[in-house]
Amino acid sequence: METELNSDESPLLRAISLEEKLRISKIYLKLEAANPTKTHKDRIAKAHVKRAKALGFSGITVGTCGNYGTSIAYFAEKEGLRAVIFIPRHYENSRVEEMKRHGAEVIFVDGPYESAVFMSKTFAATMNYYDANPGSQPMIDYEAYSLISKEILKEIEPYAVFVPVGNGSTLVGVYYGFKKYGKMPKIIGVTTSYGNQILNAFYTGSMEEVRDFVETHLNEPLVSSISFDLQNALEAVKASKGYVFGFTDDTALKYAKILEMSERIKVLPASALTLAGLVKFVRKFGVNNENFVLLLTGGV
């Protein structure tokens, strides 16, 4: 399909080969890997860096599992801000050198992702740096991610949109966008079954921190023992009559390979779980021949 895009938009492509393979139609791929650092995180990173610059901050900081830190480093360099990125030492950290190339200082943290965020927040308060961490200024995140919905609605009206879920910020922003623009598809969250607070709360009703979780190099973007947008994410799923699915790492690898073989698109396995979510959704609810949108991100 032909699409007119401005430089800040990502393409929406119909996946004909995938439809034939899975016998599901109509599948559209929202390719966030087309963004400068290949992930949807560029949307919020750009917004936060611009906000930091406007407020007169000399630096910006964030705790990250990789992709968001890379985005912050990229846009901070463009705006002449110093970036200080906190990241768990035991993570794969495949993007650390990229952060450093953009001039960021990287500080390794002995602990989980949540510890990196906490240390970044403490650093921001102590050093008078702009705090770009999840939950610090959620409306900036929601507004930035709402543009995904606006771009989708330029071309189609979706029945369901499948979104990777870690903290839940992206899901809430996508929901917020559809609500703002007057169209509401079902918002389907997909995440790791190895430990995500939103997934756990959706199925059990418990809002407790997830203490039994397993972090791997595949599920790092999705593991969240404390999801900073937990309540808003659950409300978004409920209000849109959506759902949340959890999957294992082998499922992520399987569907990443299917996307690569069918559409010649390489995405993060964690992101490929949106396709797993679509397959499970169709089987569970018996819905087909609708407009389904998968949010896909890169970062490899």
Q: Which domains does the chain have, with CATH numbers?
A: 12-34+138-296 (3.40.50.1100), 41-131 (3.40.50.1100)
Structure confidence by residue, pLDDT tens digits, 160-192: 999 999 999 999 999 999 999 999 999 999 999
pLDDT band of residue 4 (cuts 50, 70, 90) is: very low
Q: How many Cα atoms occupy the beta-carbon half-sphere of 96 within 13 Å?
A: 15
Q: Cis link prior to 100 (omega < 30° from 0)?
A: no
| Both structure tokens of 32 | 């966030």
pLDDT of res. 223: 83
pLDDT at 13 over 50: yes
Token pair in block for residue 105: 């200082």
Amino acid at 124: A
Q: What pLDDT does residue 229 have? A: 93
What is the per-residue pLDDT across 85-143, written as a single tens digit (0 to 9) for each?
Answer: 999 998 877 899 999 999 999 999 998 888 999 999 999 999 999 999 988 999 999 99
Burial of 258 (0-12, 13-18, 19+ CB in 10 A): middle
pLDDT digits (tens, 9 = 90+) for 52-92: 999 999 999 999 988 999 999 999 999 999 999 999 998 87
For residues 179 and 156, what is the distance between their CA atoms, to the nearest angstrom? Answer: 15
pLDDT at 219: 83
